[in-house]
Structure 1
Amino acid sequence: MTDTIAEGRANMVAIPGGRVLIGAPGAHLDQVGDAQPYPRTWFADESPRHPCQVAPFLLDRHPVTNASYDLFVRASGYRTEAEQRGFGLVYGEHFWEERAGACWRSPSGAGSDLTGRQRHPVVHIARADAEAYCAWASKRLPTEAEWEYAAHGSTWRPWPWGEDFDPACVNCAEHWAERLLGDLTDWHRWWAQRRSCQGERPATTPVGAFPGGDSPFGLADMAGNVAEWIATPYRLYAPEVNCDPILRLAQGRYGVLRGGGWMNMRWQVRTTERIACHPSYSTWATGFRCAADVDTEQLDFSR
C-alpha cells in the first residue's frame, strides 16, 4: 500500500496557494447564452465572480485510469454503484439509456470490456465510488474552488489552454465532428450519423492524449474526456443569482461534476461550467481525479 501511495503522489502536480477569482465574467456568460442552445439561466450559477483563498495542494495530473481503478478493486473487493444496481447509463439514439451490465469494467454494456483501454479514464463512477478510491489511495476529491483554479490558473480563461476554443486540444463532440456544432439539433444529427457509421465511435481517449489542452499548471484533460466529481456539495455562489429554479432546488442535495466529457459540446467543457448531479449519478462519461493535502515545505512550485 505504501508503494501505491508513493507512486500516486509522484503523478500529482503541486498547485501553489493563492487568492483567486472563481466564476465566469458576466460578459462571457452573455456570449455563451447567445451562442449555444441552452438558456442563460442554465449557466447563471457560474456567477457572480468571487474571491477564494486556496491553500497549496496536490492534484492528479490525469483523471484516474481504468488500470489504477482495477488495482483498487483487486485490493479492496469494492463494487461500484453501477455494478450493484446491474446497469449503467450509455447514450443511445436520443438520450441516456439504462444498459444492462454497463459499469466501469464494461463501459458500453454487457459483453464489452477494457481491452486497449487501460490508460483511458475510468467511467460509470458515482461520487461514492470516487470517494472510496480516494480513501484507499490516501487522497481526496478536490473542492470546487481547487478544481477551477487548477483548470484556468490564477487568471480566468474559458478553456484550460486559453481564450479561443480549439477542437485539437480536447476530447469533446467538436473533436470527433471535426467542426463546430451549432445547436442541439446539429449535435443530435451528428450523433446519429456517428452511431450508424463504421469505424471509430466517439468515446473516451487515453489520458493525456491532448497535450495542447493542458492547463497552466500542466494538468491534462481538465476539459473533456470525462466529467469529474468534486467534493463540494452543489451551492449557488450567491442567493440572488437569476438561475433556473431547478438549480436552486439542487442546493445541498446534489454534487458537482466539472470539465465535461467526450460527448459534450465546447460550451460544456469550459473551466467554469458547473453540472449539478445526484451523487449516485454515473454514466459512460463520468470519472474523477484525486487531490491531496501537502506539507508546503516539501512542495516544488517551479512549474
Structure 2
Amino acid sequence: MVMSTKQAPFIFCSVLCLTVSCKQESALEEKTVVVDEARASCHESMPSRFTTTVKSDSIKKGEVSHEGMVWIKGGAFYMGAADTEGRQDEYPLHQVKVDGFWMDVTEVTNAQFASFVEATGYVTTAERVPEWEEIRKQLPPGTPKPADSLFVAASLVFTPPAHAITLQDARQWWSWTKGASWRHPQGPGSNLEGKEQHPVVHVSWDDAVAYATWAGKRLPTEAEWEFAARGGIENQPYPWGTEAIEKGKPKSNTWQGQFPNQNSNWDKHTGIASVSSYAPNAYGLYDMAGNVWEWCADWYDAEYYISLKEQVSYNPNGPARSNDPTEAYVPKKVMRGGSFLCNDSYCKGYRASARMKSSPDTGLEHTGFRCVSSL
C-alpha cells in the first residue's frame, strides 16, 4: 500500500496517541477535567512536533530597542473568565498585579524574523530533521522507534476538508507537511512574497525564545499578556469590550461560517492577515484577538488558577512544570489570543481569557508570537 503524504506523518504521530491513551483513563480518574467540545480549539490535542530540541543559549542577547513597542503601565486586574463562556482552565477568576512593561505593538512579522535569521544563521525547529533521542523522551518506556522514512523536517499546515465533518479530531484539518516552515507557510511551492508584514508562523516556542533573546527581549508571561489584551477594560470578554465578534464592523481576523470547511470571508480575510489590519485595543496593541496564536513564557497547568484563588498574585510566572491531564507525556507551554481559525460556534479563542497550549517544539500555520521587555 502506498501512503499519502497526509497519512504517513500521522502513522508517526500515532505512536504517541496510542501509547498515551491507555494512561489517560487512570489520570482522569484522579483529576476531574471536563472538556467542553463546544469550546474546543482548532488544534486541541494535537501531537507534538517530535523534533530536535533547539537551545537559545547559543544566541547572544541583544540590546533592546523600544521602537515598535508601547509601554504598558502596570496594575491590578482580575484574570480569567468572568462569564460562562470560558473553558474549565479559565476559572476561577483571581486577582493579579503586574509591574509595567514594554510590549510589541504587533506580532513579530516575517520581515523582522528574516532579519534575525540573516544576522544569526538560526535554523528553526520546523526546518530540522527530528531526532529519535528527543522523541522518545515524550513517550512511555519501551515505545518502538518509527520507520526512518518518517523522520523528515515538517510542520503542521491547515488543510480544510471539502465538506462538513465532525469536530472531535483536529487531525482532519491539520497535515504534517514536509518542507513547511516559516519560509514556506503552506509547504513547498509557497513563499513569503507579499507577506513581509504577515506575522511569522511555524515557529516553535524555542524559536520564539531565540528571537526574543536576539532582540534583547523576552516572551510575555501569561498574566502580562492578558493584562495587555484587556487594555484596561475590566472583566469583559473581548479586548474591545462586549460586542459579539460578528456584530458591527470586523474587529479581528477570525473564521466566519462553518468550520473547518467554509469561511464566508466577512472580515475580508480567509487566511492570515497583515499585522495592524484591524483597530488596536485601548493600549494601542494590534491583533490581541485572532490572526495567530501567540506563545507565552509560562508552562501550562490545567489547574494552575485553582492554586491562586485565595491570594493576590504579584507578577506570576506560571507553574513550575506542565500539567495537561489529557496528554500527560507531553509538556506544554501556554498560547494566547486565538487565530484566523477561531470562530463563534466552535473555538472562541479570541476571548481575552482564552487559553491554549502546545508542546514547545510544535509549529503550526497559525502560531506566532510577540515580545515584551521590562527595561
Partner of 1:188: 260
Match of 1:216 among 259, 282, 288: 282
Partner of 2:305: 237
Partner of 1:301: none
1:161-210 CA distance string (max 9 Å, x none): 11012340110102xx4xxxxxxxx313415x99xxxxx97211110001
Change (3 A) 1:5 1:239: closer
Match of 1:202 among 270, 282, 285: 270
Partner of 1:91: 158
Secondary structure class of the residue paired with 2:357: strand
TM-score, normalising length: structure 1:
0.79
Residue 77 (structure 2) pairs with residue 11 (structure 1): no
Q: Aligned runs of 1:55-94 on 2, under 5 Å? A: 55-85=99-129, 86-92=153-159, 93=161, 94=172
How many residues are treated as equivalent by the alignment? 256
Partner of 2:207: 129
Cα distance in 2 for residues equivalent to 1:88 and 1:227: 16
User: Which structure would you say has the larger Rg?
Assistant: 2
Counterpart residue type for residue 156 of structure 2: L
Q: In 2, are the aligned partners of 1:169 and 1:210 still within 8 Å (CA)? A: yes
Cα distance in 1 for residues equivalent to 2:68 and 2:324: 38
Counterpart residue type for residue 77 of structure 1: G
Cα distance in 2 for residues equivalent to 1:293 and 1:240: 24
Partner of 1:158: 237
Deviates more, 1:275-284 or 1:71-80: 275-284
Q: Which runs of 4+ in 1 moved over 3 A?
A: 245-252
Change (3 A) 1:247 1:152: farther
Partner of 2:143: none
Q: Any stretches of 5+ residues in structure 1 without a counterpart?
A: 34-42, 178-185, 195-199, 295-303
1:218-268 CA distance string (max 9 Å, x none): 100000111000001112211599xxx955766993101100111111411
Partner of 1:299: none
Partner of 1:173: 255
Change (3 A) 1:112 1:252: closer
TM-score, normalising length: structure 2:
0.64
Residue 156 of structure 1 deviates from its aligned partner by 2.2
Q: In 2, are the aligned partners of 1:226 and 1:287 still within 8 Å (CA)? A: yes
Counterpart residue type for residue 341 of structure 2: M
Partner of 1:46: 90
1:256-294 CA distance string (max 9 Å, x none): 110011111141111100002111121000000000012
Counterpart residue type for residue 77 of structure 2: V
Cα distance in 1 for residues equivalent to 2:80 and 2:103: 20
Secondary structure class of the residue paired with 2:363: coil
Q: What RMSD over aligned residues (CA atoms) do the two structures have, in Å?
A: 2.4
Deviates more, 1:56-65 or 1:261-270: 261-270
Deviates more, 1:217-226 or 1:149-158: 149-158
Secondary structure class of the residue paired with 1:276: strand
Q: In 1, are the aligned partners of 2:253 and 2:269 still within 8 Å (CA)? A: no
Counterpart residue type for residue 158 of structure 2: Y
Cα distance in 1 for residues equivalent to 2:308 and 2:327: 14
Secondary structure class of the residue paired with 1:133: helix
Match of 1:118 among 165, 184, 196: 196
Change (3 A) 1:18 1:250: farther
Q: In 2, are the aligned partners of 1:234 and 1:250 still within 8 Å (CA)? A: no
Q: In 2, are the aligned partners of 1:234 and 1:251 still within 8 Å (CA)? A: no
- The alignment-based identity, stated in percent, is 38
Higher helix share: 1
Change (3 A) 1:56 1:251: farther
Q: In 2, are the aligned partners of 1:22 and 1:50 still within 8 Å (CA)? A: yes
Residue 95 of structure 1 deviates from its aligned partner by 1.6
Q: Any stretches of 5+ residues in structure 2 without a counterpart?
A: 1-61, 130-152, 162-171, 310-322
